[in-house]
Structure 1
């Protein structure tokens, strides 16, 4: 008999496995938290620091930076969707093999700009060679790539930020996903890049299977379409993968809100009721991006107010009882940070919820190592502010 799972049951389990229902226990490391999230989006590093910190009781931005730059237990590189993520260094063999196994489309660049598969291979190899054992700025790296490939790689043909970038940069994310490139410590105001320590990648089939298992453990029940969206992968590829693993008994079908979805085989235990509580999630938090269906996480007014064209992550969100009930913004001045929280739809928090919100704001201050102030009112800034 097919197991039936409600949104509230799925939400409660996801929050628990994300260290959001209950913070990670003392002794849980930064890479452990990031592993449970399946990567922390790090285009804005302070947002990644908050994503990790609010899932713990004691970790701060200093701990995240130490893991990244001192202990090297974290790597800042291109992860799911080609976007910048923090990933555990120990999991690079999994991530690089899985991400490079995903078919890529023709790309959005014009034929005269686009690189061929062979040119892309040469660029990635050149990046890995140039960055081995050193940290280079983007201009220094560009010189090295052109010297190793040819002048064609340096042609200024790629539209970007009211200017033109060299041709080779259109596959820079592939270098990150393949393990040839990661971010290094800043050199003054300049970003640098380096190469992660050498490692042996997993076989591609094994890596893709394991990544899907981890995804379903953290965000299941889910569907091929949701998995494809999370990875920016072709729908057909995801559908075939689910079909193969269902046939092999790795995953199994359940009924999720009246529609078929999948979980890891045997992983069908869910809380009997929903989760009650208040949480603050920063920009591009992994949970807000990966938890589907999006209409259930962002019901009613939240779908219009807390998303940008249906895309999650552009606004920090207030979760109340597992659904988006507001947006928020923090503005730091010196050692203080003001956290403005807007409850959507003219709603009001209960006394218990207000206490929990105050505790969450205090936790944001601890992570950012600032004195926080809570203001309940309209958030007037736009996305990415």
Structure 2
């Protein structure tokens, strides 16, 4: 499947009948149910849950553990860790947008196939600091060779890549935190997308990387075109209806390229248009049924929870004061979110001391007695997943957004 950036036009079939209109409340209720937020996902484990979400964000590992645990019956962070490091039914790698995710190990061929099909985004580095395509290929080959039978820290992997590719790979040209990273690390997420790298268990406080072959013997990325179509279908199942612009934001690709992609999928009958929140959006073909009940429930979603990151339109999902309080420069995920009836309705923060977990919730509006009872239950559930004892208070949250 080949796509090139265009002017970002919306794929519309000329002369087609008016698409069905999907109401906001019905879509919210469906998203909550599909995300395991209306009730626990049935007959599912951590890997199944990660598949439903199109990956659990793992920039903050404890947040990923909570994201999965709160959607499943009786699952704690220890169960997520067992699935990741012992059973290896989960894999920690770079997913959409080059950000760290937990994905089902069995679906890694699908995801690497799809991610390699995405166009690369704008490179913010100066021209002299960037990798050429040939250098990128050399780095990925060096990474694959170094990790084939090893778990290496970033420093150890740097030594191996420089030895194999040449001194240029180690040039300190990438601004990072309080220092500079070597040139080759621009290709870190590319190596993961091509199936050469995933995360290994931490060595003390140090991150390690290893080969996905050690999780899935015989692994290799699936065919890109078919994989990309399947990932779009999964994305629309979890987050739809969605516009090409929403998908572009979720994958960090040019909007015009996403519009061309949706046009191709519409022409093949894989997706169909609907009217949603006053604009044309898309669902997987035939997926227009909605629950009869309205969206209900109080949830405490952690940093970078997939539901908040993927929720659009932002103005509807983060209404009123939530847009200023629960988003960081329009970006979702940087604050843990209090979710009330499917909408962002506040922020929260947790601080741990031994087994005690102090949970402070800042609602942005009044909570009913029923909502307060549910909030207490959610605090208990959060502490249960994290293996602690909760102490819940409501009031201002002073912690700023996570980077």
TM-score, reference length from structure 1: 0.97
- Mapped contact 1:307–1:314 kept (Cα < 8 A): yes
Residue 234 of structure 1 deviates from its aligned partner by 1.4
* CA distance, structure 2, for counterparts of residue 368 and residue 250 of structure 1: 40
Residue 105 of structure 1 deviates from its aligned partner by 3.4
Correspondence for 1:141: 157
- Mapped contact 2:359–2:379 kept (Cα < 8 A): yes
Correspondence for 1:71: 87
Residues 9-62 of structure 1, C-alpha deviations (whole Å, 9 max, x = no match): 11110111111111122x411100110111011011000001001101211000
Correspondence for 1:375: 393
RMSD: 1.1
* CA distance, structure 2, for counterparts of residue 384 and residue 262 of structure 1: 31
* CA distance, structure 1, for counterparts of residue 211 and residue 176 of structure 2: 25
Partner-residue secondary structure (3-state), 1:261: strand
TM-score, reference length from structure 2: 0.93
Residue 106 of structure 1 deviates from its aligned partner by 4.6
Residues 82-141 of structure 1, C-alpha deviations (whole Å, 9 max, x = no match): 001111100111100101110113511111100101110110111011001110111110
Give the gaps of 5 or more residues in structure 1: none
Residue 2 of structure 1 deviates from its aligned partner by 2.0
Residue 6 of structure 1 deviates from its aligned partner by 1.6
For the pair 1:350 / 2:346, whether they are aligned, the reply is no
Partner-residue secondary structure (3-state), 2:164: helix
**1:81-230 maps to which residues of 2 (within 5 A)?**
81-197=97-213, 198-230=218-250
Correspondence for 2:330: 310
Partner-residue secondary structure (3-state), 1:12: helix
* CA distance, structure 1, for counterparts of residue 172 and residue 321 of structure 2: 44
Cα–Cα, structure 1 residues 129 and 259, in superposed 2: closer, same or farther, change >3 Å? same
More divergent stretch after superposition (232-241 vs 154-163)? 154-163
More divergent stretch after superposition (105-114 vs 137-146)? 105-114
Residue 162 of structure 1 deviates from its aligned partner by 2.6
Q: 1:62 aligns with which of 71, 78, 100?
A: 78
Residue 192 of structure 1 deviates from its aligned partner by 0.9
* CA distance, structure 2, for counterparts of residue 71 and residue 215 of structure 1: 26
**Runs of 4+ residues over 3 Å off in structure 1:** none
Q: 2:35 aligns with which of 1, 5, 18?
A: 18
**1:276-295 maps to which residues of 2 (within 5 A)?**
276-295=296-315
- Mapped contact 2:195–2:220 kept (Cα < 8 A): no
Cα–Cα, structure 1 residues 113 and 187, in superposed 2: closer, same or farther, change >3 Å? same
Q: How many residue pairs get matched?
A: 382
* CA distance, structure 2, for counterparts of residue 202 and residue 230 of structure 1: 21
* CA distance, structure 1, for counterparts of residue 296 and residue 72 of structure 2: 18
Partner-residue secondary structure (3-state), 1:363: helix
* CA distance, structure 1, for counterparts of residue 108 and residue 141 of structure 2: 17
Residue 273 of structure 1 deviates from its aligned partner by 4.6
* CA distance, structure 2, for counterparts of residue 321 and residue 85 of structure 1: 26
- Mapped contact 1:8–1:273 kept (Cα < 8 A): no
Correspondence for 2:13: none
Partner-residue secondary structure (3-state), 1:331: strand
- Mapped contact 1:49–1:61 kept (Cα < 8 A): yes
* CA distance, structure 1, for counterparts of residue 371 and residue 112 of structure 2: 41
Correspondence for 2:26: 9
Residue 271 of structure 1 deviates from its aligned partner by 2.0
Residue 200 of structure 1 deviates from its aligned partner by 3.0
Residues 291-345 of structure 1, C-alpha deviations (whole Å, 9 max, x = no match): 110111100100000000000001101111111111100100001101101111x
